Amino acid sequence: MNQGPQNDWFEKDFYKVLGVSSDASDADIKKAYRKLARKYHPDQNPGDEKAEAKFKEVGQAHQVLADPESREQYDQVRQMGRGARFTAGSGGQGGGGFEDIFSGLFNQGGARGTRYRTTGAGGDVPPDLADLLGGFGSGGGFGGGFGGSPYGGHTQAPMKGGDYKASTTLSFTEAAQGASVKLNMPGGKPLTVRTPVGVKDEQKVRIKGKGKPGPGGGEPGDLILTVKVEPHPVFTRDGDNLRIELPVSFDEAVLGAEVDVPTLGGAPVRVKIPAGTPSGRVLRVRGKGIEGKKTRGDLLVTVEISVPKDLSEDALSAVRAYREATAEFDPRAGLTERARRA
């Protein structure tokens, strides 16, 4: 009789599968998984069914132990499975052992035989302990389950199902503009979701109704998608604004100029550099940032004067002539006095 994948929580030692101790750190678990996944990957073992089965087993173990919440619940269920069993004496009430309760829960033909699976590849989502133990007695838990009323005939009140968790990585531009993400759901059925425009790094997106089935016919839970955003080589984000450092030459800063400034995913814009612009001044280009809920952010351009390293003799002579011509100008005038007053 197939009692569902949750029996793996009692029958399999996922720590042993990965070759780590039960108190292993997250880093040790990740390291062990990567090593074994490379070793047993189907691409490294073409046609080897044993290696393929081992690869799936390693993936299942990592799926459970890598998530702190599912690992904690796995440890609790394993501990309960090793504990004492409650049985009734001859002719007593509440017959049936502790193991029978879980057997009934996981029995595919039983009244509470709901199966939960993860969105990731290779592994099962842990059933919440409330889901496992709820429904025994009038208030849920063990309160009335071992009393006069037999728990086998109890009808569980509808409850909302638990949430699935998944993560995805987007490029900086995809995050700013929104992107379609394809996820592997339980049973291998794919789900395509659209991330919001302007989603931020580590932001969690909730997709309603795509979580675990609701016990007792309740509404399903949600899918919680964590978005990770890769950095951009030129732009950084400041709220809904974008920032960029713009190199300009000394003469452009002194005399003024109009230069092209790149935008995210669009054509460059022409920006005027006022004469006498110092390094570090921020120029604002409105409406060229990230699209927000109500308005679009701006592009903040920080001027950085670029100093050439290698100059010809003529250029050096011109710089010396400039220094002589501006000898009366002291860029640090009053700096020492201001420092003393602070």
Domains, the chain = 5-146 (1.10.287.110), 164-229 (2.60.260.20), 236-341 (2.60.260.20)
DSSP 233-301: SS-EEETTEEEEEEEE-HHHHHH-EEEEEEETTEEEEEEEE-TTPPTT-EEEETT-S-B-SSSB--EEE
- pLDDT score of 230: 95
Average pLDDT value for residue range 214-228: 91
List, for residues 242-282, the tens digit of each pLDDT value: 999 999 999 999 999 999 999 998 899 999 999 999 999 99
Q: Within 83-213, where are the H helices? A: 98-106, 129-133, 172-177
pLDDT in tens, 160-207: 889 999 999 999 999 999 999 999 887 778 999 999 999 999 999 999
Q: Is the pTM of this model over 0.75?
A: no
Is residue 108 pLDDT above 50, yes or no?
Answer: no
